[in-house]
Structure formats: structure tokens, C-alpha cells
Structure 1
């Protein structure tokens, strides 16, 4: 997933770029599932923002779980040849992992409800963010 200089110049909407973005997204989702992240929400950013193709928001039960999920996810991305920058790991109330085409926000439940990023990104949209778990 590491891009050479010539690959970095390819259009983001190229076939290779989309496949790479999809593979990264699948890796993120599998990692969060493996680490028992809760209330996973995906927001598609393609065509809405140039910062990334996907935003994933999830939570852990404690600061320890949030920090562990973030560290494991970053390591898995690096093992796959990608890059992951982490912010907020020291407190682990809200950890941001910037993996390029996928942005991941990991929260403790109280902090997530306070900031309510899902609502901010859904403003003016007819469809709400996609949740991974089926609602009862």
C-alpha cells in the first residue's frame, strides 16, 4: 500500500487507487471487528471531501481498549505496506488514525456522544451513515 512517487501522482479516482482504498477499508474494518470495537459507523466521503474516501467511527469500552485498538490497527496497516499516523493516543479518549484514504476515529462512549461526529457529517444528507451492526 506504500505509494512510489509515480503512483502517488495517479488520479485518486483511478482503478488502482479505488482498489487500494477498498483494500485499506477492508483491513480497517476487519481489524476493528477482530478487536471488538463497538458501534462501528462508516461514512462514505468519496465525492464529498478530498481528505479521504472513508471515515470510520467506532468506540471501545475503556481508554485501554481504545489505545490497544489504535495501536494494533496502525501496526496492521504498516504490515500491509501502508502508512498510519496516530493522534490522541496519550489520553485515548479520542484517537484519530489517518491512513490516507481511510480516516478512523476511536472514542470512549462518553466522548463520542459529546462530539457526535456522525451527525456533523450527515448534516444536509438524506441518508444517514451506515452502521455495521443491524439495528434491532
Structure 2
């Protein structure tokens, strides 16, 4: 994966390790249409936003739960989770990386990729395509 952050901003290895952990966990759990939006220098909420889909509420809930457990086990961070009971849209806030997991039709409705594109065609890049 190529770094998509601005060349003038320093890259924090801990943030990148957390981002890589998130991407690996989602890949292991068969997440679909995984997209990373770099936020460093654009927003103070996080350095990366990751958006992915699951095929069902059960898969979305399982991915979110496993991801939070992996983050805690491997980094010691306690990620906050919102939306788990319904699992149409689950937010996992791991500090420097924020993850949105959706069922496909809910993702399409909210279209976060477009909202956070900042007018930059390259802002939302699938891993490996940057």
C-alpha cells in the first residue's frame, strides 16, 4: 500500500500500524469494498477513515466486535463502538483511525466516501490502489 498522506506531514508509525491492523482485520473477516480516506491535515477527528461493507447485520456486528478485540489485544487501545445492537451502521473509534462498517444499502444511502472526498478525486482510495 502506498502512503496517501501529504508529503509535508510527518507519518506516525503507530498510527500507520493501527491503520494496517484495521485493514488486515477487515480483510481477514471478508469485508467488502474497503476504502481508506486519509484525513491527516484535513480534519482533527482522525488520521484515517476506513469504510467497509458486510453482507448482513450479523457479519457487520461480528467484524466490529472482532476488530475492537484485536485493537485492544494488539495495541492496548480501547476502541469505542456505536451502533452495534442494530448493526446497519457500526462506528468503531480507535482514536487516530475511525472505521465505519455498513450493510451495502445503508452505505449507499449515506455515501460517506462522497461526503469526505474534499473535492479531491484521490481522497478515497482503496488499499493498494493509491
Same fold (TM > 0.5): yes
Larger fraction in helix: 1
In the superposition, the TM-score normalised over structure 1's length comes to 0.83
The corresponding residue for 1:10 is: none
Other-structure match for 1:95: 90
Gapped regions of structure 2 (runs ≥ 5): 1-8
1:64 to 55, 58, 62: 58
Matched with 2:108 is 113
2:40 is matched with which residue?
A: 46
CA distance in 2, matches of 1:133, 1:22: 14
Say what the alpha-carbon RMSD is for the aligned residues: 1.6
Task: Determine if contact 1:95/1:106 at 8 Å carries over to the other structure.
Answer: yes
Q: How many residues align?
A: 120
Q: Distance in 1 between matches of 2:55 and 2:128?
A: 17
1:76 counterpart SS class = helix
* 1:19 equivalenced with 2:19 (yes/no): no
Larger CA Rg, structure 1 vs 2: 1
TM-score, normalization by structure 2: 0.87
